[in-house]
Each structure stands twice: as C-alpha cells, then as structure tokens.
Amino acid sequence: MNIAILFGGSSYEHEISIVSAITMKKVLKKSTLTYIFVSADREFYLVETEKINSKLFSSGEYKKGKQLTLKKGGFFTEGMFGSKRVEFDVTLNLIHGRDGEDGKIASLMEFFSVPFISPRMEASALSYNKLYTKFLAESLGVKTVSYEHLSKNDERKIEMDYPVIIKPVRLGSSIGVSIVKEASELDYALDVAFEFDTDVIIEPFIDGVKEYNQAGCLTDAWELSIVEEPQKEEFLDFEKKYMDFSRDSQVLSADISDELKEKIQQSFKKIYDPLFRGSIIRCDFFVVDDEVLLNEINPIPGSMANYLFPDFEGMVTRLSRALPKEKNISVDYTYIHSIQSAKGKA
C-alpha cells in the first residue's frame, strides 16, 4: 500500500507533526510512504522519503522539493507538459493542532475527493475545541471532568477550589497549560493561556488521579488498542510530550480489572461511533471513585498512538478499505428546466 503522510501545517504543533511523520517511517515498514509537507505558510511540498529528517525542515531545505497543487483527485506537480498526479492509495493526516485537527484539511480532502484517514469535518470541529468536546460527551452519556469556561474579556474569577489546571480550548501538547495552586497564581496562568487562545477551560487538578489511554478505530469490526496507564508525573510539559510523540515501540497494557477495562472501552465506543469513522483516535480517561471520566479526545494522536497496537500497519490498511464515503448527489437541473419550460409557455 502507498500511504501519503500529510504533515506540518500552520500550527503551534507544527514541529510535533514533523516528529510524528518521521516516526511513521520506522512504523510503516511494509508500506510505500509518500511524504507531503504543509509549510507554515500553507504551501504543499513533496518530500523524498529517503531524505526526510528534522533538519530538512528547520533549515528550509524542503523548499528545493517539488511544490504541489491540490485539486480534484489528489496532489499534482505542475510542469511544461501539464499536471502529473502524485500516486498514493490513501492519505494519513498527521497535522496536529490547527489545520489538521480543526477540520480544514478534512474539508479539503472531502471537497477534492482524496481518500484520507482522519476525523471528518464535524468530528474535527467538536474534538479540536475542548469546550465542545464536553458538550459532545454530555450528549452521548459519557461523563467528563467538571469545568469552568473563561473568555479573554471575562472577569478573571473562578468558583472551584484550588488547585486547578488551566487549558487553552483549542490547543494540545500541553501548550499554554498551567497548574494553579492558589489564587495569586491565577492571573499569570491566564496571561500565558490567552497568549495562545481566546478561551480557556479550568478543571480541578486531581493529584494522583488514575489516568488511562484507549485508542482505536472501526473497520469491519472494532480494533481497539491496549489500555495504557501512562507514566505519571505531576504534569507533562511541551518538551516531555514532544519526546513522547516519537515513540514507536509497544508499551505494556495497564494492570486493571476486566470490569474497568470494559467501562473504558464502552465510553470510547460511544465517543467514536459514528462521528469518528474513518479515523484513528485516542481518548484519555480519568478514573475517580471507580467512575470513568473523559479527560480529552486526541483526534490525531502523536505518532498515531502506534505503540498501543499489536498490528498498527495492518490496521491502517484495513481502515483505508473501510473509509466513509459521501453520498453522491446527482444534479439534473429538473427544477430549473421546469421553470424555463413554464416561462416559454407563457
């Protein structure tokens, strides 16, 4: 299978996307990979698989590659003798953050009829925004961590007890996130978060909370990863998560009861189906007093959470054959013709 890895984008998580894309070279060993880089100014470049490394992008060397045009049916190089399509079977969207997770790329792929693995437009919009994710989970009967919402121009006042955690609504990878242990620290934490976003959510910081990650997708059947209990530190900052995104070796399954595992997986399935069909997502859950709470949805997890699956490459292949298809709408202009005929008779 020939997989086009789409990565980069105009995002605070641009560099993390590059790390995830390079990791795929170590993970998808049986597939042919075609790398398509989206620069920070949203231009498409074809990158030679053999030459891909982080320096290629930090140095600007990628600009020597072929620039691509996106149009009906795929990506094309333009030359003296016309357009030539870049051949691949499916696109794997690995753009983290804005552009990749907010629905822009999904919309483009659907509009130009390019097969792609990624959340569709509606799923992207709801999972990219942490506040909308809360609304989604509530509507599906999946409980979440309690929260408050503040916009940039709101009064800086919160009701919940300290310590709390402040999160920009539209960012991942711990960017702009702070733990606030007392009221005197609130203003500074909000200043940091509002550098990146106009809205934040505030949640209670639960010390020592049990956290579990569940990834998966739906092909012809459910393909669920192991349940991972990530190694906990008080807080994983951007640098630690940056390194975490390059993981390509499998981790151990969490030592939990079958009952708890079933609860986590049932919550995951409620979130995933049908909204996230066509994508590989990871949901992060907290367990408090034996109750499973959704912490967040990772619509395009770092390195696609490959390290949680026993057969990640096989799963990607199977998913590529089970992608949702838009309904074909036939336009025959019957209505306009009838108006024209009526006018003619008049």
Interacting residues of 96 by C-beta distance below 8 A, sequence separation 6+? 9, 11, 13, 16, 17, 20, 172, 173, 300, 302
Which two tokens mark 264? 């986590």
214 has which bridge partners? Answer: 227, 283
pLDDT at res. 329: 92
CATH architecture entry for 2-117? 3-Layer(aba) Sandwich (3.40)
How many degrees, rounded to 5, is the angle at CA 275 between CA 261 and CA 12? 90
Q: Which is it for the CA torsion 155, 207, 188, 16, positive or negative?
A: negative
pLDDT at res. 346: 47
User: What stretches in the chain show pLDDT beneath 50?
Assistant: 238, 242, 346
Does 3.30.470.20 match the CATH number of domain 125-144+207-320?
A: yes
Calculate helix-pair angle for 104-111, 121-128, nearest 10 degrees: 180
Could you tell me where in the chain the CATH 3.30.1490.20 domains are found? Answer: 148-204
Could you tell me where in the chain the CATH 3.40.50.20 domains are found? Answer: 2-117
pLDDT at res. 246: 56
Q: Where are the alpha helices (DSSP H) in 77-185?
A: 104-111, 121-128, 130-140
SS3 210: strand
Could you tell me where in the chain the CATH 3.30.470.20 domains are found? Answer: 125-144+207-320
What are the contacts of 333-341 at 24+ separation with CB within 8 A?
Answer: none
CA distances from 10 to 38, 72, 105 (A): 8, 23, 11
Q: What is the DSSP letter of 224?
A: E
Of 178, 140, 92, nearest in space to 283 by CA: 140
Interacting residues of 41 by C-beta distance below 8 A, sequence separation 6+? 10
The rounded distance, in Å, linking the Cα atoms of 126 and 199 is 15
**Which H helix or E strand runs over 297?**
strand 291-298
SS3 192: helix
CATH superfamily of 148-204: ATP-grasp fold, A domain (3.30.1490.20)
**Which H helix or E strand runs over 27?**
helix 14-27
Q: pLDDT tens across 171-217, in order?
A: 776 788 999 999 999 999 999 999 989 999 999 998 889 999 999 99
Residue 33 exposure: Cα atoms within 13 Å on the Cβ side: 26
CA distances from 137 to 2, 143, 300, 304 (A): 35, 7, 18, 22
Residues, the chain = 346
Do 182 and 257 meet the contact criterion of CB atoms below 8 Å apart? Answer: no
Of 282, 272, 304, 13, nearest in space to 168 by CA: 13
